[in-house]
Structures are given as C-alpha cells and as structure tokens.
Amino acid sequence: MKLAVVEFSDYALVWWNKNQREMMREEGREIDTWTEMRRVMRKRYVPTSYSKTMRQKLQRLSQGSLTMEEYYKEMHMTLVRANVEEGIEDIMAHFLSGLNPNIKDVVEL
C-alpha cells in the first residue's frame, strides 16, 4: 500500500494526505491496509454505475473473433472489475454461453 502511495501526485496526493489526516482525527488511525485503501479509493474515484456497467458487459460478453485465451482473460478481468464472486459452476456457465457455437459444441461434448 505504501508503495502505491509513493506514486501519487498532484490531486491524488493532496486528496490522500487530507483523507489520512481526517481518518487520524476521526478514528485515531490511518489507513494502513491495501483492502481499506482500495475501498476508500473506489468510493472516491469509481462511479456508482461502474459495477452495473461491468455486470452488463459480462452478460453481453462473447468470444466473437477473440482466441480462447483472449476471451478467458477478458471474462476474468470483467469478473474482477464487476466485483463478482460467483461459484465455479456459474462462472463456467457464463464462459460456455459466450463461446462461439462450434467451440461450445466441442467443449460440451
């Protein structure tokens, strides 16, 4: 977490320092974990519609002209960005439903 803060500049650095001072004043401590830092930064910088947008992208995602590896990576990144925590069966169902029909048929066999 501290390594990431070192890379902050301009507005982000000013915002972070102000946020840390407020935390110290209100709660008697600073943010010191990656998880907490991520939560605070998401609240500040990520629009509330982002998760909904990512979930919609996940529903529409299909292999199309992507290779299997590209499709898998795109799906995985979208799951992470949407903050989706589904079981392996649900993830596999999403993955299979977006495969090109000729590949889907082979995989299902």
Rounded Cα distance, 2 and 30, in Å: 12
Question: Is the distance from CB of 44 to CB of 15 less than 8 angstroms?
Answer: yes
Predicted pLDDT at 108? 77
Q: Does the pLDDT of residue 80 top 90, yes or no?
A: no
Predicted pLDDT at 99? 92
* 82-85: long-range contacts, CB 8 A cutoff, minimum separation 24: 82/51, 82/54, 82/55, 82/57, 82/58, 83/51, 83/54, 84/55, 84/58
pLDDT per position as a tens digit, 20-70: 999 999 989 999 898 899 888 888 888 888 888 988 998 899 999 999 899
Domain boundaries, the chain: 2-45, 50-108
Residue 108 has phi, psi (to 5 degrees) of -70, -25
Place of tokens 């199309």: 64
pLDDT per position as a tens digit, 10-25: 998 999 999 999 999 9
- Who contacts 96 (Cβ-Cβ below 8 Å, separation ≥6)? 104, 107, 108
pTM for this model (two decimals) = 0.61
